[in-house]
Amino acid sequence: MTIRPPVIEITAAQKMFGSFQALSDINLSIEQGEIVTLLGPSGCGKTTLMRLLAGFETVTAGTIRIDGRDCAGQPPERRPVNMVFQRYALFPHLDVFENVAFGLKVKGTPKTEIRERVQRMLHIVQLDSFANRYINELSGGQSQRVALARALVNGPKVLLLDEPLAALDLKIRQHMLVEMKRIHAETGATFVYVTHDQDEAMILSDRVVLMEKGRIVQVDRPETMYAVPKSLFAAKFLGETNLFEAAMASDDASGMTAVTGSGLRLRSSIVPAGELRGKVIVSIRPESFRFNRDNDTTQSATGKVEDVIFIGSRSFYTICLADGVRVRVQVQRGTRTSLPKPGERTEIFWDSDNVVILPQS
């Protein structure tokens, strides 16, 4: 068995726009067939990174290798990547067929082959009967499929997707996510997907690349990144969490216990990424809390139920602890324990493997 080189390998890449540092010290390798999302708030550099891969921008320093070849000086048309643009960028003077055929045509592919490949691709995106439609006759979801087909028909090593669902409404967005996974399975291409939406990132990706202020802050599987965020930024950006200001306990040499101002001891069994010292932030997800004790490793606190919000499959409880700290607790519907009512005093329990201690910044 031969070990394949990663399809994308970015080493120490930097990008400056004038005196503005858009990207600094980017190191990332992406394997063949992966779906990787570049996730981060707007302005974090994720789109710039994607444009570097597409060839619309050039690195100020560092190297980018695609399919084993250094891309320095390679214009977009000679890279084995294709892009799905944020607002689709479909050619309004061409119909659906001609849009999808565009890439094959400029490469001089024989006509019969173009027809076959375009029709097969339109079949994959379920637009068989739309070949002769003009772009302005399509809905948002249909335009999205045409954009996907137009890029994938060229058989790219890597498909770049720049917030492809941002312009669609929620229902279609969820449907397109499922479609996207199916199309990925059918074509086997590597997907690099830019988004600021954490749900999209978690549903879609094999790995999430979390970015902040032009840097990569964490690269992990979505489950890992959700369970074990390595920074306060990651904990806050992915999902919802309770944050406690605390200080590392001086009596615990293993560095796994933090104490809040009111003396609440929070023990973690997650080995921290770096050395923790002094003031820290402790993150516990709302669904990590329970109202019942189920084994002797659990930690607990008491408080008063302030508020209950019911949203269908789950409910959110706001518990005010003794020192006035508020904690959000999520309970799945169908939980068979007796649940406290608003105004009642209650005890909440959690396990040490759900406690994440993070450096303060």
Partner 1 sequence: MVLKIVVWSILAFLLMPLVIIVLFSFHASPSLSFPFAGFSLRWYAEVLGNAQLGSALVKSLTVAGFTALITLILGAAASLAWLRLGPRGRAVLEVLCLTPIALPGLFVGVSLLVLFAQTRIQLSTVTIVISHVVLALPILIVAMRARLALFDPSLEEASRDLGASQMQTFGKVTLPLIAPTLIASAILAFAVSFDEFVVTSFVAGTETTLPMYIWSMMRRTVTPLINAISTLALVFSIAILFIAWLIGHLRRRSAVAGRTVS
Give the list of residues 6+ apart from residue 305 with CB closer than 8 angstroms, or none.
Answer: 317, 318, 319, 340, 341, 342, 343, 344, 345, 346
Burial 300-335 (b: 16+ CB within 10 A, else e): ebebebeeeeeeeeebbbbbebeeebebbbbbeeee
Residue pair 248/257 in contact (Cβ under 8 Å)? The answer is yes
Instruction: Please list every residue from 237 through 296 that binds partner 1, using CB under 8 A.
Output: none
- Of 69-77, 203-211, 319-327, 348-356: span binding partner 1 (CB under 8 A): 69-77
Rounded Cα distance between 26 and 250, Å, is 37
State the Cα angle at 170 between 184 and 133, rounded to 5°. Answer: 65
Residue with tokens 């990424």: 273
Q: Output 99 or 195, the one with its CB closest to partner 1.
A: 99
What DSSP designation does 33 have?
A: T
Q: Output 54 or 238, the one with its CB closest to partner 1.
A: 54
Q: Output 107 or 279, the one with its CB closest to partner 1.
A: 107
Q: Output 95 or 200, the one with its CB closest to partner 1.
A: 95
Interface with partner 1 (CB under 8 A), residue total: 31
Q: Give least dist CB 101 to partner 1, A.
A: 9
17 scored as a contact of partner 1 (CB under 8 A): no
Q: Output 24 or 47, the one with its CB closest to partner 1.
A: 47
Rounded Cα distance between 65 and 53, Å, is 9
Strand-strand pairing, 81-84 and 158-162: parallel
Q: 33, 76, 141, 155: which one contacts partner 1 (CB under 8 A)?
A: 76
Q: Output 8 or 281, the one with its CB closest to partner 1.
A: 8
End-to-end CA distance of the chain: 44
Q: Give least dist CB 23 to partner 1, A.
A: 19
State the Cα angle at 95 between 90 and 97, rounded to 5°. Answer: 95
Instruction: Please list every residue from 91 through 150 that binds partner 1, using CB under 8 A.
Output: 91-93, 95, 97-98, 102-103, 106-107, 115, 131-132, 150
52 scored as a contact of partner 1 (CB under 8 A): no
Q: Give least dist CB 35 to partner 1, A.
A: 20
- Of 61-69, 83-91, 222-230, 243-251: span binding partner 1 (CB under 8 A): 83-91
Q: Output 2 or 136, the one with its CB closest to partner 1.
A: 136
82 scored as a contact of partner 1 (CB under 8 A): yes
Q: Give least dist CB 83 to partner 1, A.
A: 5
Extended strands (E) in 170-264? 190-195, 207-212, 215-220, 242-248, 257-260
DSSP readout, 262-278?
A: T--EEE--SPPSS---S
- Residues in contact with partner 1 by CB under 8 A are 54-56, 75-78, 81-83, 85-87, 89-93, 95, 97-98, 102-103, 106-107, 115, 131-132, 150-151, 154
